[in-house]
Amino acid sequence: MMIIAPTPRLVRHAVARLRAPVSASVSVSAPALTISGRAFFSSASSFSDIPTVTLAYDLHEPAKPVADAKTSPIIFMHGLFGSKKNNRTMSKVLARDLGRHIYALDLRNHGDSPHDQRHDYLAMAADVAEFIRQHGLKEPTLIGHSMGAKTALALALQDPSLITNLVAVDNAPIDAPLTSDFPRYIQGMKAIDAANVTRQAEADKILAPYESSFTIRQFLLGSLYRPDPKNDQTLKYRLPLGVLGGALGYLGDFPFRNPSERRFVKPALFVRGTKSLYVPDEVIPAIGEFFPRFEMVDVDSGHWVISEKPEAFREAVVNFLEPKE
């Protein structure tokens, strides 16, 4: 979950400059654009070139399913420093309302999923693509928040045949550099690991100088666990802090630059928090170029859309995914 939004100046820099229109129908009147960024990614990369990890997941089953667990399921993805636990309540609600099975994933280097030295959007998208194939899922919907949203967007552009539609929550297909808060969070979490605390209250006290918001601290403390509870009560982070700290420079990036090369022409819903800066109006042209059949719903919230306004989020998703007459 990306907690601190980039500034409008950084977003304007990320969107770079506009070019001539491309010959494609889009939901907004938008010229094509070039998005600046690192050379770390290549739009020619193939998922077959990326070693994947086997993702941990929770399966939430509806009381009255409209299909079996492999047909039209929903795949729910968390954000940076999060886990499948973050989306447990909403997954149960959506399973009930839509009658669809929901797979809540732990992305690589998070929760119960394996750790790997590579942590970028193509690698995370490759993991999810392999998850879909391994489980034999047919026409799934992707829902992702923040880091999970960019993972969903990357998968949709890299292998659109695998999914039927998607919901991106408070993120967009642009480069928007992260702020210096994230290295500070990594510092604070490393300080907790080094202190060998046994109670969450002790960990919170260590983290307080690094983050003043109690809500954000509680989120960051959510990945603590006891590796050896029978013999030792020490709390440690499940997260590979060194790997994630080294990946921060890439997590603001988006792996695809040119919408004339890759486009997802199936339905896509973008849900943005009106008090968040992650999806300002100036990035709407980029969304329209990559995702010409997109819809957008504004929610009166900050970046934490799902937890801040769960009913508004639920309503937006249900309206988007319910069968249309």
Catalytic residue among 101, 119, 145, 303: 303
Cα–Cα distance list, 156 to 31, 51, 57 (Å): 21, 19, 20
Tally of CA atoms within 13 A in the half-sphere of 85 that contains its CB: 13
The structure tokens listed for 258 are: 């040119």
Determine whether 259 is exposed, middle or buried from the number of CB atoms within 10 Å of its CB (0-12, 13-18, 19+). buried
The structure tokens listed for 127 are: 């993991």
| 146 catalytically annotated | yes
How far is Cα of residue 105 from the mean position of the Cα atoms in its chain? 11
Catalytic residue among 146, 276, 301, 307: 146
The amino acid sitting at 36 is S
Q: Contact, 166 vs 269, CB < 8 A? A: yes
Residues 6+ apart with CB under 8 A from 270: 167, 168, 172, 279, 287, 291, 294, 295, 296, 297
Distance (Å, whole) CA 277 – CA 280 = 6
| 91 catalytically annotated | no
Residue tagged 């709407």 (tokens): 284
Distance (Å, whole) CA 61 – CA 30 = 40
Residues known to be catalytic? 146, 303
